[in-house]
């Protein structure tokens, strides 16, 4: 497999391999040993969905060295994690809806891990075997609520606050990728995953010692420096080396 997407046509939902813009339907379990049709599926009338349906979204905070410096925070000794509501997911092309326009609401470009197999208590050296692939994400955050609550679940779990996709890239080395956030065509975040304090395989291992991870679960690996506010009418793009860009607008 390479890039895998999830699509709908009418009431039908299916996975497909994406090759040079063409879609080849998947037969079987995307988390197993699927086969693919040789004839491409016409894209007319298709809608791109979030690439997986996770049982949970695990977010990681303060995981880029440059972001820690920006926030004047000490580097964490272990990953700082919390859960986001799965109802916050938004596909590529979807509109981010700000529930409280008077509050500051920020973008956060992130590399997302997609789990491919059930996993519990694995070592960092084993963890990569359980990863299906990687995709682009946003961790949209209401800063007023974050400050008031003193934690992160509510301020980051509003509907549409987790744009994800469009595709899962299954053949990607995540350890030295450029990661950028564009807002209305202007570069706002510009870093590299080599700045990650805890690497993807370390995150998967650590989280698996705290909870069982299931196929399709998503881990947001953290955001680099340069986070900033959004407002209605903004056009956002997360651009990560080796992945298809994630585009969303704001209202």
CB-based contacts of 153, cutoff 8 Å, min separation 6 = 82, 83, 84, 85
What are 19-60's pLDDT values in tens digits?
988 999 999 999 998 999 999 999 899 999 999 999 999 999
CB-based contacts of 8, cutoff 8 Å, min separation 6 = 14, 46, 47, 49
Of 2-16, 59-73, 103-117, the range with the lowest mean pLDDT is 59-73
Where do the domains of the chain lie?
A: 3-48, 57-250
Top pLDDT among 169 and 21 is at 169
Q: Please, are residues 235 and 185 in contact by the beta-carbon 8 Å criterion?
A: yes
Q: Give pLDDT, residue 69.
A: 79
Q: How confident is the model at residue 9 (pLDDT cuts 50, 70, 90)?
A: very high
Q: Give pLDDT, residue 131.
A: 98
60 torsion bin: left (phi>0), alpha (psi -120 to 50), beta (else): beta
Q: Using CA atoms, how far apart are residues 80 and 197, in angstroms rounded to an integer?
A: 11
CATH number belonging to domain 57-250? 3.90.850.10
CATH number belonging to domain 3-48? 2.30.30
Q: Give pLDDT, residue 138.
A: 98
Q: Please, are residues 124 and 101 in contact by the beta-carbon 8 Å criterion?
A: no
What are 101-157's pLDDT values in tens digits?
999 999 999 999 999 999 999 999 999 999 999 999 999 999 999 999 999 999 999
The stretch 70-94 carries a mean pLDDT of 92
Q: Using CA atoms, how far apart are residues 56 and 173, in angstroms rounded to an integer?
A: 24
Q: Give pLDDT, residue 65.
A: 86
Q: How confident is the model at residue 1 (pLDDT cuts 50, 70, 90)?
A: low
To the question of pTM greater than 0.75 for the whole model, the response is yes
CB-based contacts of 29, cutoff 8 Å, min separation 6 = none
Mean pLDDT, the chain, whole residue set: 95
Q: Give pLDDT, residue 197.
A: 96
The tally of CA atoms less than 13 A away on the side-chain side of residue 14 is 19
Distances in Å between the Cα of 15 and the Cα atoms of 25, 32, 78, 233 are: 6, 13, 35, 31
Q: How confident is the model at residue 6 (pLDDT cuts 50, 70, 90)?
A: very high
């Amino acid at each position: 497999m390479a890039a895998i997407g999830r699509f709908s046509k009418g009431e039908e939902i299916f996975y497909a391999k994406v090759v040079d813009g063409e879609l080849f339907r998947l037969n079987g379990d995307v988390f197993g040993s699927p086969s693919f049709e040789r004839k491409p599926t016409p894209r007319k009338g298709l809608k791109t969905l979030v690439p997986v349906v996770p049982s949970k979204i695990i977010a990681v905070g303060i995981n880029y060295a440059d972001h820690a410096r920006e926030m004047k925070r000490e580097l964490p000794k272990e990953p700082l994690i919390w859960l986001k509501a799965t109802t916050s997911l938004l596909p590529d092309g979807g509109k981010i809806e700000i529930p409280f326009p008077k509050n500051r609401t920020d973008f956060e470009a992130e590399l997302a891990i997609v789990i491919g197999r059930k996993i519990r208590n694995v070592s960092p050296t084993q963890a990569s075997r359980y990863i299906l692939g990687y995709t682009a994400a946003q961790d949209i955050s209401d800063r007023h609520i974050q400050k008031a609550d003193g934690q992160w679940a509510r301020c980051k779990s509003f509907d549409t606050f987790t744009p994800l996709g469009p595709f899962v890239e299954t053949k990607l080395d995540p350890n030295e990728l450029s990661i950028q956030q564009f807002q209305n065509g202007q570069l706002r975040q510009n870093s590299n995953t080599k700045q990650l304090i805890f690497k993807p395989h370390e995150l998967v291992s650590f989280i698996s010692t705290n909870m069982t991870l299931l196929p399709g679960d998503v881990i947001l690996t953290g955001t680099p420096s340069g986070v900033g506010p959004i407002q209605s009418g903004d056009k956002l793009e997360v651009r990560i080396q080796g992945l298809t860009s994630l585009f969303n607008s704001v209202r």
